Chain A
Amino acid sequence: MLVYLGTDLLAAWGLNLEFGVAGVANFAYIVLVAAGAYFYAVFTLGPPAAMGGFQQYIIGARLPVAVAVALAALICGGLGCLIGVTGLKRLRADYQAMVMLVISILATTIIGADTGLFNGNAGLSLIPNPLASVNPAHRGWYYVAVVGAVCAAGYLVLRRFTTGPFGRVLRAVREDEDAAIAVGKNVVGLRLAVQAVGGVYAGLSGALLAGFIGGWSPSAWEYVETLALLTAIIVGGLGNDAGVLLGVVIVPVLILQGVQFLPQIKSAPQLAGDLGWIILGLLTIAFVFARPQGLIPERRPRLGVPGVPAEAGALAPAVGTGPAGPAPITAVQAGAPLTRAVPGDGGRAPILSVDGLVKRYGGVRAVDGASFTAVAGGITGLIGPNGAGKSTVLGLVSGFVRPDAGRITFDGRDVAALPAHRRARFGIIRTFQLPREFRALTTIENLLVAAPGQRGESAAGMAAGRWLWRRDEDELAEAARGLLRLFGMADTADKRAGRLSGGQKRMLEVMRALMAGPRLLLLDEPMAGLAPALAERLEAACRQLADAGMSILLVEHELGVVERLCETVVVMAQGKVISTGPMAELRTRKEVQDAYVVG
């Protein structure tokens, strides 16, 4: 029983990393556990003929058990990656769940039918016990010790993935994939990495299980077992490793095993087992309904400045002369992320030039041969009536929308073929029209996650541990706190972003973009629906950023703001650029007036 607890725990941790932390709903997870068991079996078993010839299987390498366990875990990591490739298509979450479901049924069908692979439905038997040399009378307890040790090691390794900057970026991906891409996170790569690691845990779990049982067959890994693991995670607490431990104790162990201790009903001996599954189903539903965060919810670290005076929250009339002290942008620049903002060189060379951009949706040409440039170190406005294609242009420039034709040159480089996160790393950072905060992360974490090139997110950072990235993290936190003070939101630092007000979320959207080290900031209607005081603060911040050399492309409906901020304004209508020039001049042009009347 304790062995099962341990192996279930390993599997549940792996799945929690995928689903609870990174948001990958891997309904095929049990296939990976099964694969671990099968590969352990065929690596440790000798050639089929030498083992009596009664079962057929591939490989039969008779490897030492430790090697077999390691190989099985690695193969499952690879398989996890392979399953993860199906996520490359960026399908909606429930489509992905569907793919996983089908993969798991497909695997069952193939393995059951193909007797040459793993002996079909009969399964494999006589799988060597890793502790064959230990006296069978004590072997059980030794096995518990081994599994316990693996679990303990597994936990320590797991913490490297689920805590710190890496865990933070995974959670960001879980909360909002697009927003993570917008700040330069390689979401596909992260997912693959997570599924590989999850696969390794599944493989370990399966290998240890098969070694203990001594046999493995398709009836041991029906797809409902995935539900048992999911329930364990949901009950224990999504994204919380300790919660998962509790969940595993409750669900597979107490409920599914526990029902067998109920008094047997003679007329229907299978009733106890059925009851177990019914309880499991009810429990799942009850928790999703009443306590989706689980018994032990995910915890977030407190990173706000202890005892920050409320003054930061007071609305300073003009940024820069407010209590933040020195010119805010230099204060921010003191932190790592913003140093890439190039000071204006006065040359007014375009940092972005767009040429003949086309995007069709079905038969509609949303963007129809748009060409314009945005100057370095200044604010370029992009205006036009509803449906003119402004937001699509923003999507095209930032890489979220694939162009059908046209060139996008950023800082002398053609970026049209690059994926969105790569463009973000070059410094093209967008905001979203509707704020897309990482809800379950705190406000300050939302900012920290955006910072580029964090060592704590790298493989090296995880291997080395805290000491490598602690200093970076402290500096980033300081920069983030500076930014929060600048926008008057210091007191919300440790609040979950999902709980912020609408206006605060908009500010957060801009702050997060700034934290990502933009060289060209794409703002998508940042002022819409903002309280006048906040809008004023944002406008001032934009001006200061531009003065400090930041290039900004601003999509905005409020023409007054555009006129005050932008030297050059691009006007779009029906997918085409119809006019370019200073706002005051544009107001007089007929084509612009016509467009607005028609629009």
Chain B
Amino acid sequence: MSVFIEAVGFGIAAGAVIALGAVGFTVQFGISNVLNITYGALMTLAAYLGYALLSVGVAVWTALAVAAAGIALASAGLNRLLIAPLRRRGTGFVGVVIVTVAAGIIIQYCIVAIAGPDTVSYGQQAGSTVRAAGLVLTTSQLIIIGLTVAAMLALHLLLTRTQLGRAMRATSANPVVARSCGIRTERIIDVTWLISGALCGAAGVALAITTVTFDFTLGPIFLIYMIAAAVLGGIGQPYGAMLGGLVVGVGTQVAAAYTSPAYQDVYAFGLLILMLLIRPRGLLAAGTASARRLAG
């Protein structure tokens, strides 16, 4: 039993990092209707940005904030320069996906060309270990968990309680109608990419703190976990992404505690495919009404 509780604790810590990225991913996907594969490469970029800052003596949490801001701009730029013009031309979903894959590859290999293929390291940033109720967590993990919860709450409130949030949801539901209601959808999409970019940047640095050492493949590998979390929770729902992140994190860690860890990802991804095939709208989307109830 203690093994189980311990694994759950590890899962929550791992899940928080996934959720942090997934919250941004799900909002971006949900509102702008773009499956953005570049998200993974931007996370890598954030991790390297953080590394550059750390190596000139910036504190790790400051680096996280700066990387978040930087990636927010990069993300909004990506939308403005690449995705929005494509959507205006009426390029289909798949065409846009292919472009984001290509953009991700470009960023990834530019990072290699500049930073080299070798691994880089943040050093030990975990802080002290905290033990409580059979759970073992480090202070940095606690901060990341806090950050994730805060991001999720803030996004949820933004979406449900503010004018901007209502405009975002309207844009998500039907951009044409939203535009005819006087919502400046282009601006809304820009804001969405800015916010999700900030979360992407924060998640990139948080991930690098967790893995300690990483190379240029960091983000793209991790992207699949975030997609899994976002889909499990239902695309577009911050709470869902949080829940999905926890399910994926706890699932893989518990699996690793009892079976061969080499297969831990297989369970997570298998679950994702099943989910996509059986309930593509996610765990929380048992009809919009109940989803709203669960989310609120």
**How far is B207's CA from A289's CA once the two chains are assembled, in angstroms?**
33
Residues of B within 8 A of A94 (CB): 33-35, 93-94, 96-97
Stretch touching chain A among B51-59, B179-187, B239-247, B259-267: B259-267
Residue A330 lies at the interface, judged by CB distance under 8 Å to chain B: no
Could you tell me which residues of chain B, from 233 to 289, have a CB within 8 Å of some CB in chain A?
Answer: 260, 262-263, 265-266, 269-270, 272-273, 276-277, 280, 287-289
Most A CB contacts (10 A, CB to CB) among B91, B102, B228, B277 go to: B102
Count class of interface residues, chain B: 35 or more
Stretch touching chain A among B107-115, B122-130, B142-150, B195-203: B107-115
Residues of B within 8 A of A122 (CB): none
Most A CB contacts (10 A, CB to CB) among B92, B103, B109, B280 go to: B109
Q: Given that A25-B97, A274-B113, A278-B110 are contacting pairs, would A98 and B276 also be in contact in the complex, using a CB cutoff of 8 Å?
A: yes
Residue A53 lies at the interface, judged by CB distance under 8 Å to chain B: no
**How far is B96's CA from A110's CA once the two chains are assembled, in angstroms?**
29
Residue A141 lies at the interface, judged by CB distance under 8 Å to chain B: no
Which residue in chain A gives the minimum CB-CB distance to B92? A93
Could you tell me which residues of chain A, from 523 to 545, have a CB within 8 Å of some CB in chain B?
Answer: none
Taking chain B's interface residues, is the majority helix, strand, or loop, or is none over half, making it mixed? helix
Could you tell me which residues of chain A, from 344 to 393, have a CB within 8 Å of some CB in chain B?
Answer: 362-363
Contact present for A363 and B262 (CB under 8 Å): no
Shortest B56–chain A CB gap in Å is: 23
Contact present for B272 and A102 (CB under 8 Å): yes
Contact present for B280 and A89 (CB under 8 Å): yes
Residues of B within 8 A of A25 (CB): 94, 97-98
Shortest A422–chain B CB gap in Å is: 23
Number of contacts between A and B (CB, 8 Å)?
128
**How far is B113's CA from A277's CA once the two chains are assembled, in angstroms?**
11
Residues of A within 8 A of B177 (CB): none
**How far is B35's CA from A274's CA once the two chains are assembled, in angstroms?**
25
Contact present for A282 and B93 (CB under 8 Å): no
**How far is B94's CA from A19's CA once the two chains are assembled, in angstroms?**
10
Q: Given that A98-B35, A102-B224, A109-B269 are contacting pairs, would A281 and B105 also be in contact in the complex, using a CB cutoff of 8 Å?
A: yes
Which residue in chain B gives the minimum CB-CB distance to A115? B262
Residue B157 lies at the interface, judged by CB distance under 8 Å to chain A: no
Residue A339 lies at the interface, judged by CB distance under 8 Å to chain B: no
Residue A99 lies at the interface, judged by CB distance under 8 Å to chain B: yes
Shortest A465–chain B CB gap in Å is: 32
Q: Given that A106-B273, A109-B265 are contacting pairs, would A97 and B102 also be in contact in the complex, using a CB cutoff of 8 Å?
A: no
**How far is B280's CA from A86's CA once the two chains are assembled, in angstroms?**
11
Residue A204 lies at the interface, judged by CB distance under 8 Å to chain B: no
Which listed residue, B34, B91, B93, B116, touches A288 by the CB 8 Å rule?
B91
Render A153-190 as a binary contact track against B, CB cut-off 8 A, 1 for contact: 00000000000000000000000000000000000000
Contact present for A281 and B93 (CB under 8 Å): no
Q: Given that A94-B93, A278-B110, A292-B95 are contacting pairs, would A268 and B103 also be in contact in the complex, using a CB cutoff of 8 Å?
A: no
Which residue in chain B gives the minimum CB-CB distance to A273? B109
Contact present for A227 and B85 (CB under 8 Å): no
Residues of B within 8 A of A110 (CB): 263, 266
Residue B227 lies at the interface, judged by CB distance under 8 Å to chain A: yes
Contact present for A292 and B280 (CB under 8 Å): no
Residue B117 lies at the interface, judged by CB distance under 8 Å to chain A: yes
**How far is B270's CA from A86's CA once the two chains are assembled, in angstroms?**
13
**How far is B158's CA from A477's CA once the two chains are assembled, in angstroms?**
58
Count class of interface residues, chain A: 35 or more
**How far is B33's CA from A270's CA once the two chains are assembled, in angstroms?**
36
Render A83-116 as a binary contact track against B, CB cut-off 8 A, 1 for contact: 0001001011111011101110110011001000
Q: Given that A89-B277, A288-B98, A289-B86 are contacting pairs, would A98 and B93 also be in contact in the complex, using a CB cutoff of 8 Å?
A: no
Shortest A305–chain B CB gap in Å is: 32
Residues of B within 8 A of A271 (CB): 113
Residue B295 lies at the interface, judged by CB distance under 8 Å to chain A: no
Residues of A within 8 A of B104 (CB): 281
Residue A126 lies at the interface, judged by CB distance under 8 Å to chain B: no
Residue B106 lies at the interface, judged by CB distance under 8 Å to chain A: yes
**How far is B273's CA from A25's CA once the two chains are assembled, in angstroms?**
16
Contact present for A278 and B106 (CB under 8 Å): yes
Which residue in chain B gives the minimum CB-CB distance to A85? B277
Residue A280 lies at the interface, judged by CB distance under 8 Å to chain B: yes
**How far is B277's CA from A231's CA once the two chains are assembled, in angstroms?**
28
**How far is B95's CA from A230's CA once the two chains are assembled, in angstroms?**
10
Which listed residue, B82, B94, B117, touches A270 by the CB 8 Å rule?
B117
Residue A285 lies at the interface, judged by CB distance under 8 Å to chain B: yes
Residues of A within 8 A of B287 (CB): 362-363
Residues of A within 8 A of B82 (CB): 285
Contact present for A268 and B265 (CB under 8 Å): no
Contact present for A280 and B277 (CB under 8 Å): no
Residue B229 lies at the interface, judged by CB distance under 8 Å to chain A: no
Q: Given that A89-B280, A94-B93 are contacting pairs, would A288 and B99 also be in contact in the complex, using a CB cutoff of 8 Å?
A: yes
Residues of A within 8 A of B228 (CB): 102
Residue B231 lies at the interface, judged by CB distance under 8 Å to chain A: yes
Most B CB contacts (10 A, CB to CB) among A25, A98, A234 go to: A98
Q: Given that A94-B97, A227-B105, A281-B102 are contacting pairs, would A113 and B262 also be in contact in the complex, using a CB cutoff of 8 Å?
A: yes
Could you tell me which residues of chain A, from 399 to 457, have a CB within 8 Å of some CB in chain B?
Answer: none
Could you tell me which residues of chain A, from 287 to 306, have a CB within 8 Å of some CB in chain B?
Answer: 288-289, 292
Which residue in chain A gives the minimum CB-CB distance to B262? A113
Which listed residue, A93, A103, A106, A280, touches B93 by the CB 8 Å rule?
A93
**How far is B110's CA from A281's CA once the two chains are assembled, in angstroms?**
11
Residues of B within 8 A of A109 (CB): 263, 265-266, 269
Which listed residue, B113, B262, B269, touches A102 by the CB 8 Å rule?
B269
Residue A16 lies at the interface, judged by CB distance under 8 Å to chain B: no
Q: Given that A113-B262, A288-B86, A362-B287 are contacting pairs, would A280 and B276 also be in contact in the complex, using a CB cutoff of 8 Å?
A: no
Q: Given that A94-B35, A102-B227 are contacting pairs, would A288 and B95 also be in contact in the complex, using a CB cutoff of 8 Å?
A: yes
Contact present for B109 and A106 (CB under 8 Å): no
Which listed residue, B108, B117, B266, touches A113 by the CB 8 Å rule?
B266
Q: Given that A281-B106, A282-B106 are contacting pairs, would A95 and B276 also be in contact in the complex, using a CB cutoff of 8 Å?
A: yes
**How far is B220's CA from A102's CA once the two chains are assembled, in angstroms?**
12
Could you tell me which residues of chain A, from 1 to 38, have a CB within 8 Å of some CB in chain B?
Answer: 19, 23, 25
12 more A-B residue pairs beyond the given contacts A110-B266, A113-B260, with a C-beta to C-beta distance below 8 A: A25-B94, A86-B277, A95-B35, A95-B280, A97-B35, A97-B93, A101-B224, A102-B228, A227-B101, A277-B108, A285-B99, A288-B86
Can you list 10 A-B contacts (CB < 8 A)?
Answer: A97-B35, A97-B94, A98-B231, A102-B224, A102-B276, A106-B273, A109-B266, A230-B98, A277-B108, A280-B102
Task: Identify the A interface with B (CB < 8 A).
Answer: 19, 23, 25, 86, 89, 91-95, 97-99, 101-103, 105-106, 109-110, 113, 224, 227, 230-231, 234, 268, 270-271, 274-275, 277-278, 280-282, 284-285, 288-289, 292, 362-363
